[in-house]
Copies of this chain bind each other. A is one copy, B any other.
Amino acid sequence: MVKMSFENHIMKQFDDELEEIRTRLMEMGGKVEQQLQHAIRAISEADSKLAEQVIIEDRRVDAMEVDIDEACILIIARRQPAASDLRLVMMVTKAVNDLERIGDEARKIANHAIILSEENEPSVGYPEVRHIANSVTKILANALDAFARFDADAAIRTIEEDKQVDLDYKTALREVVTYMMEDPRSISRAINILWVVRSLERIGDHAKNLCEQIVFVVKGKDIRRR
């Protein structure tokens, strides 16, 4: 089956272009990770300034996707890579798409942070958000790590961890609904929390997609949604 790694290419000095794409992909991953952290902090500290920064910076994330995509098309057109190399480049175009969508969700969280910070009683800490935020931050970090090291086993472990996100998600939903029922005046605020929790859950999904792509390229197996 396909057995490829960025490292092989580097060692053989085979392809500087491929290495450059790798660098840019990891840079984009780092940026997206930071966006998520800032969005979560904006929520928990009711920091609307930080939230606005996340929203502005999302444009950079979008531009990164378009640029890396274009670099991938050029590298395929110029080098006409064999099937295994090709899989690698195709994987990058899928990965940047997931990263961009993670960035989108971080921006949405930031939007809700602004709305929440404008309310009368901010800074309640949002314990419902905290657990899932921690799980999702961790899973994204692990996914990017697995990506950097091209480690399919780590990727598979990370996919397993996503189950924790699903549990945290369900717990958070229950808590928010209980809130609403106990105090209907909190409904409008609680719905903002609901969207935040949902965005976090989706980020976990995208991190899982990243892991599936690593497994696909390293092991040659498409384990998507199976």
Contact = CB atoms under 8 A, between A and B. Distances in A.
A90 B62 contact: no
A161 to B, nearest CB: 21
A158 B90 CA distance: 28
A140 interface: no
Contacts of A65: 224
A86 B93 CA distance: 13
A100 to B, nearest CB: 8
Contact of A90 (B73, B188, B191): B73
A76 B66 contact: no
B181 A187 contact: yes
Nearest to A76: B86
A12 interface: no
A62 B224 contact: yes
Interface residues of A, number: 33
Contact of A191 (B69, B83, B194): B194
A73 to B, nearest CB: 6
Interface in A42-95: 62, 65-66, 69-70, 72-74, 76-77, 80-83, 86-87, 90, 93-94
Contact of A180 (B72, B82, B187): B187
Nearest to A188: B177
B180 A224 contact: no
Interface in A145-195: 173, 177, 180-181, 184, 187-188, 191, 194
Contact of A73 (B87, B173, B180, B194): B87
Given A62-B225, A77-B81, A180-B184, 18 more contacts: A66-B222, A69-B222, A73-B87, A73-B90, A74-B83, A77-B83, A77-B86, A90-B93, A93-B94, A94-B97, A97-B97, A177-B187, A177-B188, A177-B191, A180-B180, A181-B187, A184-B184, A194-B194
